[in-house]
Structure formats: C-alpha cells, structure tokens
Amino acid sequence: MTKISEEIKVIAFDADDTLWVNETYFRDAEHQFAKLLAKYETQNKIDQELFKKEIDNLPLYGYGIKGFVLSMVESALELSNYQISQKTIESILNIGKEMLEKPIELLDGIEDVLEKLQGKYKLIVATKGDLLDQERKLEKSNLLQYFHHVEVMSDKKEKDYEKLIRHLDIKPSEFLMIGNSLKSDVLPLLAIGASAIHVPFHTTWAHEEVNDKEKDNVAYKTLTNIKEIISFI
C-alpha cells in the first residue's frame, strides 16, 4: 500500500461507525419497532415504510436519533390507521431514549491510531447528525483530547466539504477523510480533489449504500481495520 500524499495537513474522521459503534443500535431499534407494530403489518412492510418516512423527513429533521424517533411515531400512526395506543407511542419514545443513553463502544484500534497521528497532523471530526447527541457521544468517548476541531455537518455533500475546507484555510489536496460510508465519506471528497480512505463497518444504512455505477472509475483505498492506516502514513 502506497504512502499518502506528503501534502496532507488535516485528517478528518467520521464519528458514527468509524470511531464508535452506531448503526447496530438503529437496526436493533427497527426490530423493536416492528415488534410493536406486528399486529398491523409484516416486518418487511414496516421496515420499508419506516425507511421511506426517514428519507422523506431528512430535509426537515436531518440525521440522527431524534429525527429517527419522529419518523417512527409518524410511521406508527399511518401503519395503524391512527389506531395506535398512547402506550405504544410511549414505548417508541423509550426506544429513542435508550438509544441516546447507549454506552460508547469504541471501534478496535481507534485510540491507538489517534495517539500515533496526533502531533503529526491536525486531526478533526467531520460527522453528520444531531449536534447535542454527537457532542454527548464525543464527551463520553474520551477522545476529544485528540481533536483540534469538531464539525457536525447537516449533510456530507461536495459543497459541505468545500465549505469545511475553506473554514480550515487549506487546499483540498491537503485534506484526508477517513470514514465508513462511500457515499458520505469518500466519493464527495474525491470529486473535489481531496483524499479519502474507506474503512467499512459491518452494517450500513440503506441510504448510505452506493451502486456499482457510482463507484466506477473511482480510485480509493479500503482498509479492513483502521489500524492499517499507520503503515502508510
């Protein structure tokens, strides 16, 4: 594996499913939600309708647990033809609260990597999601000491990264992004002339998946474990 460009000054890390476990909790919550609505629809139908509701609501609520909970409530109302009980609505809200209170489970090797990179590069967090929730998770992770800057973004498209890079007062060629999502953490960076490394997580939200056409003729590095980055930086 070749060394990364000597131009790199800033290395940005995605947070959810790059620094710590996250998506697994959403899959568990979806399963709980389907059980609550089992008398109204099949699990497959419930999953489909919830996903559609989440996507429809992204422009309103953005990413994160709070928007997810609101989408579950709306879906429950519609799937039950507005017959859902107050007790079930309370159970849905409790699913969200339990998600917000989950302990932080760091991914294997992440702290070792941050220790080795600190001082050699400016390290930042560049993540999507709810500001309060992401700040809470960073605080609980005990990783804040490694980062010069934390950017909680409403989205991760080319224009969002261009804005971040301008804020950092660097050139795209001096920026490296590390994350688990090809759609959010890799392809937009390569499109603007920055660098990116893909570290897949075993579970991916359907909204973050890309098709083969989107990946065609795009060169990027993929690691099986984030610890591998030390060998070529």
Domain 23-100 adopts which CATH fold?
DNA polymerase; domain 1 (1.10.150)
Report domain extents, the chain: 10-20+104-232, 23-100
Give the global pTM: 0.87
CATH code at 10-20+104-232? 3.40.50.1000
Q: Tokens at residue 25, please?
A: 């909790």
Amino acid occupying residue 226: I
Task: Return the closest-CA partner of residue 65 out of 81, 80, 54.
Answer: 54
Q: For every one of its 233 residues, what pLDDT tens digit does the chain have, with 9 covering 90 and above?
A: 456 678 899 999 999 999 999 989 999 999 999 999 999 999 999 999 999 999 999 999 988 899 999 999 999 999 999 999 999 999 999 999 999 999 999 999 999 999 999 999 999 999 988 888 899 999 999 999 999 999 998 889 999 999 999 999 999 999 999 999 888 899 999 999 999 999 987 665 454 555 556 556 677 788 888 898 888 77
Cβ atoms of residues 36 and 91 within 8 Å: yes
pLDDT in tens, 109-164: 999 999 999 999 999 999 988 888 899 999 999 999 999 999 998 889 999 999 99
Read off the tokens for 65: 């647990």
- Complete DSSP assignment for the chain: -PPPPTT--EEEE--BTTTB--HHHHHHHHHHHHHHTTTTS-HHHHHHHHHHHHHHHHHHH-SSHHHHHHHHHHHHHHHTTT---HHHHHHHHHHHHHHHTPPP-BPTTHHHHHHHHBTTBEEEEEEES-HHHHHHHHHHHT-GGG-SEEEEES--SHHHHHHHHHHHT--GGGEEEEES-IIIIIHHHHHTT-EEEE---S---GGG---HHHHTT---EE-SSGGGGGGG-
Asked if the domains at 10-20+104-232 and 23-100 fall in one CATH topology, the answer is no
